[in-house]
Amino acid sequence: MSSSTVVDAVGGTAGVLRLAHAWHERVMADEVVAHAFQGGFHPQHTERLAAYWGEAWGGPPTYSEAYGTESEVVRIHSGNGPHEEMDRRSIVCFERAMDDVGLMDPRLRRVLLEYFTWATTTTMAAYPTDAKAVPEGLHIPRWSWDGLLKGR
| CATH code of 25's domain | 1.10.490.10
Per the domain annotation, does 1 fall within a domain?
no
Per the domain annotation, does 120 fall within a domain?
yes
pLDDT above 60 (res 100): yes
Number of structural domains the chain divides into: 1
Q: What is the pLDDT of residue 1?
A: 46
Taking only the tens place, the pLDDT of each residue in 41-57 is: 878 999 999 999 999 99
99 membership: H or E segment, kind and range: helix 84-100
Per the domain annotation, does 66 fall within a domain?
yes
Q: What is the pLDDT of residue 42?
A: 75
Per the domain annotation, does 61 fall within a domain?
yes
- For 23, the domain range is 6-148
pTM for this prediction? 0.93
